[in-house]
């Protein structure tokens, strides 16, 4: 249930309507409160005469009607323009990045302010009475409506500047790279991690079948490990967050089959129709890679964007230097209770570089920058296995360049950078000065 509850919270955080709805409810509440204050004797006559709206009922109705009609009209126009801008951005950067716009708090608050002002004006408008109807003019509530109108104008100015910056490709790359770095810190540790048990530990394990289908978006590892320990068994999940679960396929292996193990696994896992960055580092990386790949397409032909993405990916790898990826091995009472397939360094590097390299095989500037990024990574990395992994990808870059680049001068430039990489690989950071 913990996994499902976390999925529900994540879904609410991702929705576009929640924050605007809360702001609208706040506006309605303020409207009723202001009207009740106006009905009482809290507002002094001198304050009403000097600072608050002191016109009649007809003027209040006209004013509140103008506020309501203008705010709802501007809200519709602004967000129609936003949808058109997002359509253009989706074509350039990919439709999967649109969720970064819909979950943007600035966009949600802007819509909430406009709609809250509209609802506030309507609520106050219904309480205004002419002398023939009973003579009630909510002076405080009408004044607050005027303030909200000015706030809506300021919000409109903010929204135009905010959206013009958000659809900038560099801004989008920065936002997605922040997600990547956040996921790296959540999936890594500075201390050593327990090693998974050997393969022979699972030689008599039985498969657990799951009839569901969808992406694994939440996993309660602690709860499932506790259940396995209490029932004297060990569970090896065959999927990890971000993987697609196929109906009828094994989802796990158990050393000892126990009653209720299928239900325990279902309670500890939550599936969704699409991948989310909060559960899968590879998906966050693929979002960045998609921006680079689209930038390299013939229709866009923007290698500078691909180079910017490579810089961000290299920075993420450098930031991982003192960290170790979690092995997701849970030890309970000295015995393995749960093993979850964990993301390995070579898988992460492949997700970062392979697709960009394949699409930039005939783009010397991108290949050169990729090697330069790898030079920076091996300069700060201390783990020999990680350095060897990066070297393999540098060799792949050179192989693609020799296969696809026809201009001898461009090919020599790639070779020179690869020689510099080899020198750094063999002699450390000082090697870049020896070539």
Helix (H) or strand (E) segment spanning residue 40: none
Instruction: Look at residue 43 in the predicted model and tell me its pLDDT.
Output: 57
Instruction: Look at residue 392 in the predicted model and tell me its pLDDT.
Output: 94
Strand ordering across the sheet containing 244-245: 244-245, 214-219, 269-272
Report d(CA 94, CA 56) in Å as an integer. Answer: 54
pLDDT in tens, 162-213: 887 777 778 888 888 888 888 888 777 777 777 888 888 888 889 999 999 9
3-state secondary structure of 110: helix
3-state secondary structure of 345: helix
Judge whether 414 and 401 are in contact, CB under 8 Å: yes
pTM beyond 0.85: the answer is no
**Opening angle at CA 207, ends 202 and 211, nearest 5:** 150
Report d(CA 36, CA 204) in Å as an integer. Answer: 73
Tell me the sheet residues that pair with 216.
271
Instruction: Look at residue 130 in the predicted model and tell me its pLDDT.
Output: 77
Q: Which residues are CB-neighbours of 302 under 8 A, at least 6 positions away?
A: 295, 296
Report d(CA 366, CA 308) in Å as an integer. Answer: 10
Which positions of the chain have pLDDT values less than 70? Answer: 1, 3, 41-51, 89, 92, 94-98, 277-279, 429-435
Report d(CA 314, CA 1) in Å as an integer. Answer: 38
Instruction: Look at residue 348 in the predicted model and tell me its pLDDT.
Output: 92
Residue 239 — φ and ψ, nearest 5°? -130, 160
């Amino acid at each position: 249930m913990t996994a499902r509850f976390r999925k529900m919270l994540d879904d609410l955080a991702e929705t576009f309507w929640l924050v605007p709805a809360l702001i609208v409810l706040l506006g309605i509440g303020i409207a009723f409160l202001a009207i009740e204050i106006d009905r009482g004797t809290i507002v002094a006559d001198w304050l009403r005469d000097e600072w608050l709206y002191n016109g009649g009922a007809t003027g209040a109705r006209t004013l509140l009607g103008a506020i309501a009609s203008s705010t709802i009209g501007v809200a519709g126009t602004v967000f129609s323009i936003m949808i058109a801008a997002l359509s253009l951005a989706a074509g350039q950067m990919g439709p999967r990045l649109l969720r970064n716009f819909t979950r943007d708090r600035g966009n949600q608050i802007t819509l909430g302010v406009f709609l809250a002002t509209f609802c506030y004006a309507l609520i106050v408008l219904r309480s205004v009475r002419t002398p023939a109807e009973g003579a009630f003019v909510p002076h405080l509530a009408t004044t607050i409506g005027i303030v909200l109108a000015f706030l809506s104008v300021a919000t409109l100015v903010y929204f135009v500047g905010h959206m013009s910056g958000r659809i900038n490709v560099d801004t989008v790359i920065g936002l997605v790279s922040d997600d990547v770095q956040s996921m790296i810190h959540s999936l890594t540790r500075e201390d050593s991690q327990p090693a998974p048990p050997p393969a022979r530990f699972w030689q008599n394990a039985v498969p657990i079948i799951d009839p569901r289908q969808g992406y694994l978006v939440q996993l309660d590892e602690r709860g499932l490990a506790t259940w396995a320990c209490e029932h004297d068994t060990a569970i090896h999940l065959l999927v990890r967050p971000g993987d697609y679960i196929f109906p009828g396929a094994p989802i796990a292996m158990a050393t000892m089959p126990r009653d209720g193990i299928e239900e325990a696994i279902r309670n500890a896992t939550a599936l969704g129709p699409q991948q989310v960055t909060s559960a899968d580092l590879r998906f966050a990386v693929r979002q960045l890679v998609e921006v680079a790949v689209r930038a390299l397409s013939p229709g866009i032909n923007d290698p500078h964007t691909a180079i910017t993405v490579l810089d961000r990916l290299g920075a993420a790898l450098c930031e991982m230097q003192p960290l170790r990826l979690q092995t997701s091995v849970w030890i309970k009472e000295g015995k393995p209770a749960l093993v979850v397939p964990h993301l390995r360094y070579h898988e992460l590097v492949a997700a970062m570089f392979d697709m960009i390299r394949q699409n930039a095989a005939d783009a010397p500037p991108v290949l050169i920058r990729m090697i330069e990024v790898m030079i920076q990574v091996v300069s700060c990395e201390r783990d020999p296995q990680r350095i060897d992994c990066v070297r393999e990808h540098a060799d792949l870059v050179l192989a693609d360049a020799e296969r696809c680049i026809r201009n001898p001068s461009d090919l020599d430039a790639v070779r020179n950078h690869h020689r510099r990489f080899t020198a750094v690989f063999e002699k450390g950071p000082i090697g870049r000065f020896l070539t």
